Chains A and B, each alone.
Chain A
């Protein structure tokens, strides 16, 4: 049964033989979009 199911798991990058295609490791960091003056309004003190 697993064969039938797992052979459809191509998008999961893991095949029925437990071989895993590793995800590309992109380390992201977001930056201010120009909307940074409105995203939050912290006040000090």
Chain B
């Protein structure tokens, strides 16, 4: 590979990682939001259980 090719590939490399980073972030956020909603639902359930048992 000559310098130009390596330079072009390096550019492509940057593009791939930038695209990856910008796509991964919202997906990770969305996944953690689902987990958060699940944990909220568990807490809600626990509250209901306590109210029921008291």
B partners with A: no
List B residues at the A interface (Cβ < 8 Å). Answer: none
